[in-house]
Amino acid sequence: MLQSTTDGSHSGCRDGSCLFLANARRAPSTQAYRNACCTNEFSLRRRSTDHTTAPSSCSAESNHGINYSSSEDISDGQMGSVEPFSIIEGPEAWTAEQYKHRSDWINVLSPQHIAELDAAIAGVERKGVPSAQIHTVSKEDFPLPTLGPYLEAVRNEVVSGRGFALIRGVPVDRYSRRQTTIAYWGMGLYWGKASSNNKKGHMISHIKDIGQDPSNPLTRLYATHAAQPFHNDSADIVTLLCLRNAKSGGLSSWSSSVSVHNEILRTRPDLAEVLAGPHWFYDRKGEVPPGKKPYFLIPVFNYHEGYLSVNYSDNYFLLSQRHAEVPRLTPAQYEAMELFNKLAASDELRLDYMLQPGEIQLLSNHTQLHARSDFVDYDDIDLRRHLLRLWLAPPNERALPAVYEDIYGGPLTIGSRGGIHVEGTQEHIVLEAE
Ligand SMILES: [Fe+2]
C-alpha cells in the first residue's frame, strides 16, 4: 500500500528516474504540458486563466500537484501532438518510481468544503427530490462556491495531467446512504455529465459482491468478489467512492496505459502495431443496443487528432471468442495481451492503494488502467465492501475516433458520451446494489 508522505516530496524527473524520456521521438509539441515531465512543472507551464488560491485548510501534503484553475485545458479546439507509434512524453506517462513516495495526488477536503457539501445536500432535501430521481439534480441545484472550483481543478489533472487523483474526507460515516448519494452525485456535476453504468440504467452503480457468479460470461465482475485485471471502463473518466472495505483484500491498483504503450513500443514495436490494428473484437456481455451485434471492433491503441487513447480489457476480448462468427485471436494478439498485462501489473508501472471510506478515486480511462484484487467479505451483506461508481464525460475532453461510438453507446459529443444504453434503459438511481 502506498504510504502518504507529509512533505510532498517526489522522485520524478529531477533524479533521472523518468524512464521514458530517453530516445523520445515526437513532433514539436503545440501544447506546453506535453513537454513537462513533472506535474509541478506542468502546473506552471500549462495554459490557465482563472487561478484561485488553494484553500488554506488543505494540508501541505495535499495540494502540491494541483493547478488551482478552472480553465478548461483542452476544450479550445487545439489538437494534441502525439505522433502514431512514437514515445509519448507528458505527465500521464508516469512510472511507479515517480509517485510511490509522493502524495500530491491526494486532495483533502477542508471544513469549508464539507460545510458547502452539507448545505447543498440540505437544499436538495428541502426540494424533496425522490431518491430514484437524484440524477435530475443539476449544478444550479447544488452550489459549491469554493469546493466546485477545487473539484474542477482535480478533474483537470485527471483529464489532461497525470490522469489520476484521490479526494479524501467525504463524511460518509455521518451521512445517510441517501445523503451520501446526493453528495456524490452533486460532486460529479462539477466533473462532467454522468452516464448509465449498465443496462438497468443505474446512473450511480454499486460495486459490491451480491453473490453473482464470476464464471458466468454475462456477469459484470463488479457484482462479485473476484479480482479484476487491468482494464478500462466505458466512459471518459471513472470515479469510485468508498463506503466500506472488505474483511480482507480488495486492493485497488492502477498504471499508466501510455507508459505501457511506450514500453511496448520500445521493446516490441511489432506488438504495438498489433495493438493498434483493427481486429480486436469486444464482447458486450449481453448488453446489446437495438440493431447492434453482441460484440464490436475497437483497437487497443487509438491515435486520433494528436492523442493516444487506450481501450483495453482482455476479459472482453477473450469473451468475444464465444461467438462462432468472430475470427479467432491470433498468436500475435495473445502475445500482445500477455505483454500488456505483464507491463500494466509490473512493479515499475503499477501503484497500489487501499481506498478508505470517504475517499474518491478519479481515473482517466484514456490514459490509465485500473484493477482490483479479489477479496473475502462478511456474511452480513450490510457489512460488505461497498463502493459507488460514477462514469463521467467532462466538458474539456479530447476528441475520440468513430470506433468509440460502439463502446460509448452513441455519438461522441464531448461532454455527453459514454455509458451503456440498450433498448428500454431508464435512467435512475438506486440506493443499494441490485
Ligand atoms: Fe472498471
Q: What is the pLDDT of residues 272-316, one digit of tens each?
A: 999 999 999 999 988 888 888 999 999 999 999 999 999 999 999
Average pLDDT (343-370) is: 98
Report how far ligand 1's centroid is from the alpha carbon of 13 (Å).
30
Q: Above 70 in pLDDT, residue 13?
A: no
Give 422 or 54, the one with higher predicted confidence: 422
The CATH number for 175's domain is: 3.60.130
- Summarize pLDDT for 167-204 with one digit per residue, the tens: 999 999 999 999 999 999 999 999 999 999 988 999 99
- What pLDDT was estimated at residue 150? 98
- What pLDDT was estimated at residue 173? 97
- What pLDDT was estimated at residue 73? 56
Rounded Cα–Cα distance for residues 161 and 86 (Å): 19
Give the residue numbers spanning the domain of 20: 13-263+337-407
Q: Above 80 in pLDDT, residue 4?
A: no
- What pLDDT was estimated at residue 40? 29
Rounded Cα–Cα distance for residues 131 and 273 (Å): 48
Element (H, E) at 392: strand 386-393
The answer to whether residue 285 sits within a structural domain is no
Q: Which residues contact 93 (CB under 8 A, 6 or more apart)?
A: 20, 256, 258, 259, 262
Q: Above 50 in pLDDT, residue 88?
A: yes
How many other C-beta atoms are found inside a 10 Å radius of the C-beta of residue 289? 17
Number of domains in the chain: 1
Rounded Cα–Cα distance for residues 422 and 290 (Å): 6
Lowest mean pLDDT among 10-19, 123-132, 136-145, 424-433: 10-19
The answer to whether residue 244 sits within a structural domain is yes
Report how far ligand 1's centroid is from the alpha carbon of 207 (Å).
10
The answer to whether residue 413 sits within a structural domain is no
**b/e 192-217 (16+ beta carbons within 10 angstroms → b):** bbbbbbbbbbbbbbbbbbeebebeee
- What pLDDT was estimated at residue 77? 52
- What pLDDT was estimated at residue 3? 33
Report how far ligand 1's centroid is from the alpha carbon of 328 (Å).
25
Q: Above 50 in pLDDT, residue 71?
A: no
Give 409 or 93, the one with higher predicted confidence: 93
Average pLDDT (137-142) is: 98
Average pLDDT (338-366) is: 98
Q: Above 50 in pLDDT, residue 98?
A: yes
Report how far ligand 1's centroid is from the alpha carbon of 233 (Å).
5
Q: Above 80 in pLDDT, residue 68?
A: no
Q: Above 50 in pLDDT, residue 16?
A: no
The answer to whether residue 275 sits within a structural domain is no
- What pLDDT was estimated at residue 78? 66
- What pLDDT was estimated at residue 239? 98
The answer to whether residue 318 sits within a structural domain is no
Report how far ligand 1's centroid is from the alpha carbon of 305 (Å).
26
Report how far ligand 1's centroid is from the alpha carbon of 51 (Å).
33
Report how far ligand 1's centroid is from the alpha carbon of 179 (Å).
25
Q: Above 70 in pLDDT, residue 65?
A: no
Report how far ligand 1's centroid is from the alpha carbon of 230 (Å).
8
Report how far ligand 1's centroid is from the alpha carbon of 370 (Å).
6
pLDDT band at 20 (very low <50, low <70, confident <90, very high): very low
Give 76 or 187, the one with higher predicted confidence: 187
Report how far ligand 1's centroid is from the alpha carbon of 145 (Å).
31
Q: Look over the chain and give the mean of its residue pLDDT values, rounded to a whole number.
A: 84
The answer to whether residue 269 sits within a structural domain is no
- What pLDDT was estimated at residue 330? 98
Q: What is the DSSP string of 167-184?
A: EE---TTTS-HHHHHHHH
Write the CA distances from 148 to 154, 387, 406, integer angstroms.
10, 22, 32
Average pLDDT (14-35) is: 29
Q: Are strands 368-372 and 106-108 parallel, antiparallel or unpaired?
A: unpaired
- What pLDDT was estimated at residue 41? 28
- What pLDDT was estimated at residue 410? 87
% of the chain with per-residue pLDDT over 90: 71
Is the CB of residue 170 less than 8 Å from the CB of residue 184? yes
- What pLDDT was estimated at residue 303? 98
- What pLDDT was estimated at residue 58? 34
Is the CB of residue 154 less than 8 Å from the CB of residue 160? no
Q: Above 70 in pLDDT, residue 126?
A: yes
Residues with CB under 5 A from ligand 1 (ion): 233
The answer to whether residue 387 sits within a structural domain is yes
Average pLDDT (252-276) is: 98
- What pLDDT was estimated at residue 316? 94
Rounded Cα–Cα distance for residues 151 and 153 (Å): 5
% of the chain with per-residue pLDDT over 70: 82
Report how far ligand 1's centroid is from the alpha carbon of 221 (Å).
9
Rounded Cα–Cα distance for residues 397 and 159 (Å): 6
The answer to whether residue 28 sits within a structural domain is yes
Average pLDDT (85-114) is: 96
Report how far ligand 1's centroid is from the alpha carbon of 234 (Å).
8
- What pLDDT was estimated at residue 36? 29
